[in-house]
Structure 1
Amino acid sequence: MNIAHVFQDALQLANATTVEALVALYRAAIRQFGFSHFIVTGLPSQGQRFENLILERFWPEDWMSHYVSRDYIRRDPVAIASVVYRAPFTWKEACIHAAEPGSAGDRIMMEAADVGLKAGVCVPVPVRNALAGCISLAGEAPITEKDALEPVNVLSLTFASRLQLLADHGRPKGLTLSDREREVLTWVAEGKTAWEISRIIGISDSTVNKHIAGAIRKTGSATRSQAVAKALRAMEIAG
């Protein structure tokens, strides 16, 4: 691809004023490389839920539900490689370097191929509230040669940066929840009790209640349900 064209696309991404416009521009840009789908997400550490770290996606819905319900993120060779790699890599490379080739990872990749995600590229990107993050791009027959990785890298890093900046601008001002308050509220949103949350994240239930009380106070709420609703609207936690 023409380098000038890539930088023109990147400039448009950097100047997008809405998430909707940004996503449309990114989809058009990556389509030139044969990518029809993408997902931008943080990678979960202990106590975090994968689905709460997803920033944006254009991904087959059935596959997404199947993937989440089976907790594939813990065994997906692409996700595992994303924690280690600092430069773009292909799905094929991730599978080759998987710790246990021929196991669950191969099955995950075969199932992905069955829904049209036959080959892909992964670009490591920083994601807020996650130790690591990535943009994974896929399609039926995308261009994954080495000389295509750098343009995809430029476009994807620009997209991820602008996406998070626009999300920040969309947050109502005044909420200053701590990371632990966000984590606890996320589990409250899942319907967990204080005792259940304490077991999940390894703190006492009284400390959980303290964080819930702090979130209720900071959001100006009367109940934990109200605090969850306000945190969701403010994009302090993911829905």
Structure 2
Amino acid sequence: MDISQADITVWPLPTASTRIRGGGLTRDQLFRRLGDMAGRANLGTGLAALTEYVGASHYLLARYDLSQDNGLDFVVCSDWPFDIVRRLSAIVIGLHAKTTELEKCLSVLQPMFYSLPDDIDLPRGISREYCAVTFNVGRLRFSLMLLVPEDVILSQENLRDVTLLAGYLASFTTRAEVRHDRDFELTERELECLFWIAEGKTSEEIAVILGISRNTINNYITSVMRKTATRTRSEAIAYAVRNNLV
């Protein structure tokens, strides 16, 4: 099976009559544990507590905007088996390539379930379906991915708690844990071009405004789309609006 063609499933979230796994922690116990860790900036310990609370088995926190880079640098913190993580980059790239900017916007805070390829060996008792939830911390977008035991349905309420608290943890550890690669930051010129295409200007018009050649403008815009993992100017504009860049 081509890992870029991994199945995507959006499952209905459980109703009151659905069998739901209870996590190992109550909400009060979770809050106390997180409170005890306050100020220590221990992202892994915090994510492990969230994973136990929701009833999942393994966590992986990733930088959503860096997943276009075909490597492991987009992984912020994880206890997934390494062999699976090594395959994950290509899987995520394949999923993002089939997702529009509108779909990316609508997916924020919405639990999604994806299928891992059949040729990946999973720990005994772990489902091939994993849960992913995206959220923003400032202008950065993260994805929390959870491996789940077989025959388990995660609670909508617990997933909402986990997503919000994961954002809280990430906000305190971003400086220490997240790679800031200049290759993924837009330059002043690229931001200027992005602003003007959002204003509806053509490359020729932007060239006149900025006093540089049309080919140079097109190069800047191509660079913007590469860095933002977008395929068209419209998608780049949508990305810019969603991330408060214009």
TM score, norm. by length of structure 1? 0.50
Structure with greater helix share of residues: 1
